[in-house]
Structure 1
Amino acid sequence: MPIELPARRPSEPPPVRRPLQSLALFGVGALLGIVLLAVFIGRREGVGLTELPSARPVASLGFRAEDRPDGAVELVGAQDNRLVARIAPGEGGFVRGTLRGLAQARQREGLGPEQPFTLTRFDNGTLALEDAATGRHVALEAFGATNAAAFARLLPGNEVQEGRGRP
């Protein structure tokens, strides 16, 4: 019986290096590093950031929104309980919708309508509606000049008379 010796195999060639894959991986890593560096420098230097100068309030109105049985919404001054505006059913869509959204946020948090909303005009012409009860803040000019004007008419000196126009 003949004995077989294991055949001598030539040594295996070294693993094939794939220069394209290595180069692509290096490129992705370098690009990621450049992007992170650019973001770091940009944030540190304020590149591309828009900052509004600080503004001072020039007019303010605290009010509560009260629903009426006929579908109207009455806006009542928080200080003196005077009628600021009455929004008839089907009118004042933006004012009505914005206030309804804030009121629903209060309901979700278990808060009532006792605390007033605050409408503020600033010296740079911007308007803000704030709900201190929930901490929500609405920059009204973000919805366009027409919608911001609907709220601006409520401020002192711009009162909307009952039965007149749409706030």
Structure 2
Amino acid sequence: MSSAHSHGDMLPRGTLITAGALVLFALTVTTVVRIANIPPAASPVAMREQAHIAPVKSRELRFIDRADGAVLIEDADKGVTASVIAPGQTTGFIRGVMRGLARERRSHGIGDGPSFNLTLWQDGELSLTDNATGRAIELTAFGSTNRAAFAALLDEKGPTE
């Protein structure tokens, strides 16, 4: 009373052929792109350079965590406080962006000393560039409310505590 055990019916033949075709297609496209030297999609930084889009306003900022949980935002050039984000204040977007950038700095062994460059461009875009790692974040992509939180930091008086 033994029954034959077969694994042949686990995946239909059509599924295997389709999967193989997808892998072959991916390899073919990758090979064509490499051989033809097709450049990757341009970054916003490269596109601005190519189009000669100049900055309208720029500010060097340093973000410092305080012992009470607040974040002090300092104008790095003038050494004055640009803003203070109190614990629980509804500016979680700034905290989130800075947390991600701080994590990247830690992975490179960089502290919070170097400043960040916040720039408003002629085309209306707003970017934050980490001067230590070179990483740039296009803030306009996160919506008008989140963009406005950073745009307010461009004002010399800026939002304060």
Q: SS in structure 1 opposite 2:155?
A: coil
Residue segments in structure 2 that go unaligned for 5+ positions in a row: 1-27, 40-46
Deviations 1:115-136 (A, max 9, x none): 1011000111110000021111
User: Residue 148 in 1 paired to residue 147 in 2?
Assistant: yes
Q: Work out whether residues 130 and 138 of structure 1, in 8 Å CA contact, stay in contact via their aligned partners in 2.
A: yes
- For 1:76 and 1:66, locate their aligned partners in 2 and report how far apart those are by CA, in whole Å: 8
Following TM superposition, by how much is the alpha carbon of 1:114 offset from its aligned partner in structure 2, in angstroms? 1.3
Structure with a larger share of its residues in helix: 2
Structure 1 runs (4+) greater than 4 angstroms displaced: none
Match of 1:62 in 2: 60
Following TM superposition, by how much is the alpha carbon of 1:158 offset from its aligned partner in structure 2, in angstroms? 6.3
Letter in 2 for 1:122: W
Change (3 A) 1:149 1:158: farther
Match of 1:16 in 2: none
Give runs of aligned pairs for residues 68-87 of structure 1, distance below 5 A: 68-87=66-85
Letter in 2 for 1:81: G
TM-score scaled by structure 1? 0.65
What is the number of residues matched between the two proteins? 124
Change (3 A) 1:94 1:110: same
Deviations 1:17-39 (A, max 9, x none): xxxxxxxxxxxxxxx89xx7xxx
Letter in 2 for 1:108: S
Match of 1:126 in 2: 125
Letter in 1 for 2:70: A
- For 1:158 and 1:143, locate their aligned partners in 2 and report how far apart those are by CA, in whole Å: 24
TM-score scaled by structure 2? 0.67
User: Residue 95 in 1 paired to residue 97 in 2?
Assistant: no
RMSD over aligned Cα atoms: 2.9
Change (3 A) 1:112 1:157: closer
- For 1:152 and 1:86, locate their aligned partners in 2 and report how far apart those are by CA, in whole Å: 15
Q: Work out whether residues 60 and 156 of structure 1, in 8 Å CA contact, stay in contact via their aligned partners in 2.
A: no
